[in-house]
Amino acid sequence: MQLPPTPAIAGLDVERLDELRDLDPGNTTYLDRALANFVRNSLEAPAKFREIIADGDAAQLRASAHRLLGSALNLGTVVAVEPLRALEAHADSGTTAGAELLVPAADGALRRGRAQLALYQATYQAMGVDPAHSA
């Protein structure tokens, strides 16, 4: 079952999400799993960032921000990209000093991203797509 293009949702690249949704027409298992992973990881991220910053581990901060940034880009969660890039770039400087000031922006952007992804997911669920059904 081929679904129609999703109307624009501010802060999301719905074309990218539709590509992922349509990898296996009628079966959204892959996308649903990717969204669930992003939600879980993004919920844990602010506390993890704060812990890493407190430990002064710039390399770990860079790696953690980079991983989540990659997921955000893959899922078209545009709203989260710049705050995560800012954390990654700060860590690239070799220090975590001052990075704690960047965490609230990342946290807020991740919250908005999760809400927007839930809205996106609701668009195809409303069309009766069964993630367990392969067309």
Q: What is the pLDDT of residue 39?
A: 98
Q: Are the beta carbons of 71 and 37 closer than 8 angstroms?
A: yes
- Number of helices (H) and strands (E) in the chain: give both, helices first: 5, 0
What is the topology classification, in CATH, of domain 14-21+29-125?
Four Helix Bundle (Hemerythrin (Met), subunit A) (1.20.120)
- Give 85's pLDDT tier (boundaries 50, 70, 90): very high
Q: What is the pLDDT of residue 132?
A: 55
Token pair recorded at residue 56: 């002064």
Residue 134: pLDDT over 50: no
The pLDDT of 101-106, averaged and rounded, is 99
Q: Are the beta carbons of 3 and 20 closer than 8 angstroms?
A: no
Where along the chain do its domains lie? 14-21+29-125
Q: Are the beta carbons of 91 and 56 closer than 8 angstroms?
A: no
The pLDDT of 81-109, averaged and rounded, is 98
Q: Are the beta carbons of 83 and 109 closer than 8 angstroms?
A: yes
Q: What is the pLDDT of residue 30?
A: 93
- pTM here? 0.91
The pLDDT of 107-124, averaged and rounded, is 97
Q: What is the pLDDT of residue 29?
A: 93
Q: What is the pLDDT of residue 127?
A: 82
